[in-house]
Amino acid sequence: MTRGEHGISREDVSPNALKVMYRLNGAGFESYLVGGCVRDILMGHEPKDFDVVTNATPEQIKGLFRNCRLIGRRFRLAHIVFGREIIEVATFRGHHSEPDSNDEAAGDSKAAKAKVTAKQDAHGQLVRDNVFGTIEEDAERRDFTFNAMYYSVADFTVKDFAGGLEAIEKREVRLIGDPEVRYREDPVRMLRAVRFAAKLSMSIHPDTATPIKKLASLLTNIPPARLFEETLKLFLSGKGEATFLMLREYGLIAPLFPQIEPFLADESCREMQFILKVLRNTDDRINNDQRVTPAFLYAALLWYPLEEKSQILQAESGLNAHDAFNIASGEVIAKQTQRIMIPKRFSTVMRDIWILQQRLPKRFGRRAFQLLTHPKFRAGYDFLLVRGQIEGGELLELAQWWTQFQHADATKQKGMLNALRKSENGPRPRKRKRRPAKRPPDA
């Protein structure tokens, strides 16, 4: 596509990305903007980041940029650092295949080289993929059709190798190549398909959607640390509620959150309503540029498994409620981190939010004022408020009490505590004065 056909201007592109491409071009290499940034500009969205692809090897890229660092084992990438902005530069990826005996004997054949630089596990998943190739091969190795468009600052054209513009017009998420093979190569592509569909208000093409339920269990082979990063993209994009519903539709909740799957019987159950309410609130905060923390979201996702585990421990082990709750919280987090690694800085906050659910009902004496000074009071209160809105009854009354108490002046707070004490204990009976015992008459 020429400049007049696609309408992309250099004004739409990060100045730092332009610097990277100009320098690569000036050194005799090809370079292009690729992937999500090209797609977003064509859809009228503002890209969050800019990725560049080139025929220069990672070592050649590093030789051109002092502010470059090479990262990655599965596929080697160059990060060009401009303060807070990082321009990711990748070398064109090529095809790989297992060499036959003649190739191995040749020693320096292309296939023999592929064996050294590309590796798959028993499930077909790529664990190393440093095979370099041409732009045409790179396009075939891209995941979705709308991510295989390349913008050049050399001639201002867009190369569309896989019908990406057509996918945008039809609003379809469609994989390049055989979907089952591509999912086996990298099961995270199933999550990406859902994320793009929710984020871009698209549908997933039937050929791309059909294998997902069958292959969902492959996600258990993905390192938990990588899945943590992927779930942040899923739920902190401003489309978390729609994404969660789509994950459930395609059977992707169980491999990510096995403990909550049994609770999601239907959309009307309280557990489902609670999670959707939290995601809806999170979406609103993100779309209004307010801060959010993954700890709150994970605390919500695992709240009902925690409640159930605590009750089981009390019934089976005879533990008191406090000890059962503490043990259950540790076990629930430990089980979740087998699938998705939750960094300690977030799991600690999750525990604080959960513990506050135990403490907030205890408001007598100085406890209410002490809870107001707790560093995580606001998060604990917000969590309680959503629980109250979903479950109603005494829980909602408790949340409403805290809503009033935290904003009241000192006199009103004292009055609220006095009223609470009276309502809990009722009127205190008057103490009857004991009459002194009669002294026996002197003998």
Whether 102 and 140 map to the same domain: the answer is no
Whether this prediction's pTM lies above 0.75 is answered by yes
Q: How many domains does the chain have?
A: 3
Residues annotated as catalytic are: 49, 51, 143
Q: Please, are residues 164 and 198 in contact by the beta-carbon 8 Å criterion? A: no
For residue 257, the domain's CATH number is 1.10.3090.10
Instruction: Tell me if residue 85 falls in helix, strand or coil.
Output: strand
For 203, the enclosing helix (H) or strand (E) is strand 203-204
CATH code, domain with 153? 3.30.460.10
- Same domain membership, residue 41 and residue 66: yes
Q: Mark whether 87 and 40 lie in a shared domain.
A: yes
Of 208, 233, 264, the one marking the end of a domain is: 264
Cβ atoms of 38 and 158 closer than 8 Å: yes
Same domain for 138 and 103, yes or no, is no
CA distance 381 to 356: 8
Residues 33 and 87 in one domain: yes
Sort strands 68-71 and 77-82 into parallel, antiparallel or unpaired: antiparallel
Please report, as a single letter, which amino acid is at residue 345: R
Q: Which domain holds residue 232?
A: 173-264
pLDDT one digit per residue (tens) for the chain, 443 residues: 877 678 888 999 999 999 999 999 999 999 999 999 999 999 999 998 999 999 999 999 999 999 999 988 767 899 999 999 999 999 999 876 554 444 444 444 443 333 334 455 555 555 555 688 899 999 998 999 999 999 999 999 999 999 999 999 999 999 999 999 999 999 999 999 999 999 999 999 999 999 999 999 999 999 999 999 999 999 999 999 999 999 999 999 999 999 999 998 788 899 999 999 999 999 999 999 999 999 999 999 999 999 999 999 999 988 999 999 999 999 999 999 999 999 999 999 999 999 999 999 998 888 999 999 999 999 999 999 999 999 999 999 999 999 999 999 999 999 999 998 887 664 444 555 566 655 655 54
- Three-state SS at 24: helix
What span, in angstroms and rounded, lies between the C-alpha atoms of 198 and 171?
11
